[in-house]
């Protein structure tokens, strides 16, 4: 079994509609964002970031996060990049059009985080399209694009194995944590994400 993950809590007062992620895993600890200075990142396999992140403040942690990644750590990012905190990050690019076809999620590569998750369950939430993503954070050259939006396959999800070490899973939309405990196939995402991020060996749909 792999090591533990660290979940960074949303900014106080934001993300109140998220399920309690800690109620759905015993493999993670949580920390307040502004308390991250006092946490030894090297004690964890992965750092899990919410969409409601103080990106400007987090940018002050870049050197620590790069060292964590260089040492083989995993970073999971949710949301729109507004303040590029790492060399691999580029600002969010919104979709030019938001018709149903533009919001439809297409699987482009298999990955253990999304194994068994139906594309329609990602496209529609409570019968409405667009919750999953409405644009993308451009991937670095060599990243594996997992899901694309619309006919142009805008890269809403990608995974990047850094040449210097470590890996980044990018989701340019609402928190993947919102699917914790879901009754449809998206309920698989959080436990599978935690297992992958914590370093468990997986069978089947595997990429870095």
Give, for all 208 residues of the chain, the pLDDT tens digit. 458 999 999 887 665 667 777 778 888 999 999 999 999 999 999 999 999 999 999 999 999 999 999 999 999 999 999 999 999 999 999 999 989 999 999 999 999 999 999 999 999 988 899 999 999 999 999 999 999 999 999 999 999 999 999 999 999 999 999 999 999 999 999 999 999 999 876 544 555 5
Buried b (16+ CB within 10 A) or exposed e, 94-127: ebeeeeeebbbbbbbeebbbbbebeeebbbbbee
- Where do the domains of the chain lie? 5-197
Q: Which residue(s) pair with 144 in the sheet?
A: 159
Q: Do the beta carbons of residue 204 and residue 196 sit within 8 Å?
A: no
How much is the pLDDT for 92? 98
CATH of the domain spanning 5-197, picked from 3.30.365.10, 3.40.50.880, 2.30.180.10, 3.40.50.300: 3.40.50.880
Q: Do the beta carbons of residue 5 and residue 27 sit within 8 Å?
A: yes
Report the SS3 class of residue 47. strand
Report the SS3 class of residue 201. coil
Q: Which residues lie below 8 Å from residue 85, measured CB to CB, with a gap of 6+?
A: 55, 58, 59, 61, 62, 65
Q: Which residues lie below 8 Å from residue 27, measured CB to CB, with a gap of 6+?
A: 4, 5, 194, 195, 198
pTM (predicted TM-score): 0.93
């Amino acid at each position: 079994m792999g090591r533990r993950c660290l979940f960074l809590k949303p900014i106080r007062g934001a993300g109140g509609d998220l399920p309690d992620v800690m109620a759905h895993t015993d493999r993670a600890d949580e920390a307040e964002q502004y308390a991250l200075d006092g946490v030894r990142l090297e004690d964890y396999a992965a750092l899990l970031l919410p969409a409601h992140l103080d990106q400007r403040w987090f940018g002050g942690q870049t050197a620590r996060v790069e060292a964590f990644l260089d040492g083989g750590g995993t970073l999971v990012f949710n949301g729109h990049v507004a303040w590029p905190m790492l060399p691999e990050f580029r600002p969010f690019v919104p979709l030019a059009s938001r018709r149903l076809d533009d919001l439809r999620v297409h699987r482009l590569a298999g990955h253990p985080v999304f194994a068994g998750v139906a594309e329609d369950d990602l496209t529609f939430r409570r019968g409405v399209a667009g919750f999953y993503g409405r644009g993308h954070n451009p991937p670095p050259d060599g990243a594996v694009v997992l899901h694309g939006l619309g006919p142009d396959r805008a890269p809403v999800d990608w995974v990047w194995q850094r040449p210097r070490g470590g890996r980044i899973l990018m989701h340019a939309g609402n928190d993947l944590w919102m699917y914790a405990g879901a009754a449809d196939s998206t309920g698989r995402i959080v436990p599978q994400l935690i297992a992958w991020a914590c370093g468990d060996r997986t069978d089947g749909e595997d990429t870095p």
